[in-house]
Amino acid sequence: MTADKYFYIVDRLKFIFKNKGYQVSPAELEAHLLSLELVDDVGVVGRPSERFGEVPVAFVVLSSLGRDRDPSEVKDAIKFSVQRAKVC
């Protein structure tokens, strides 16, 4: 909220980004992450990378089942459900 009590809604600038030459859909990665019982909510964006173009970054809200687990389990789980190029 601004000093004048205005809210600004921010959304993705684009719905596809390139990682290692592949087109990556943040919505696709979000759907895969949301299918995990460890995840309650997620948002995926592309972060600029000189080496790869953009790399996916996921902001994850863990479920009650996931809170006591190692966060790397989420990354390991998604590696099995999407192309290798889409997970860094």
- Which amino acid does the sequence have at 48? P
Is the CB of residue 19 less than 8 Å from the CB of residue 53?
yes
Query: Which sequence spans correspond to the domains of the chain?
Result: 17-86
Question: What phi and psi values does residue 71 have, to the nearest 5 degrees?
Answer: -55, -25
Superfamily of domain 17-86: ANL, C-terminal domain (3.30.300.30)
In this predicted model, what pLDDT tens digit does every residue of 44-83 receive, in sequence order?
988 999 998 888 899 999 999 888 989 888 888 888 777 6
What confidence score (pLDDT) does residue 50 get?
Answer: 92
What confidence score (pLDDT) does residue 51 get?
Answer: 92
Q: Whole-prediction pTM value?
A: 0.73
More confident position, 2 or 11: 2
Ramachandran region of residue 13, left (φ > 0), alpha (ψ -120 to 50) or beta?
A: alpha
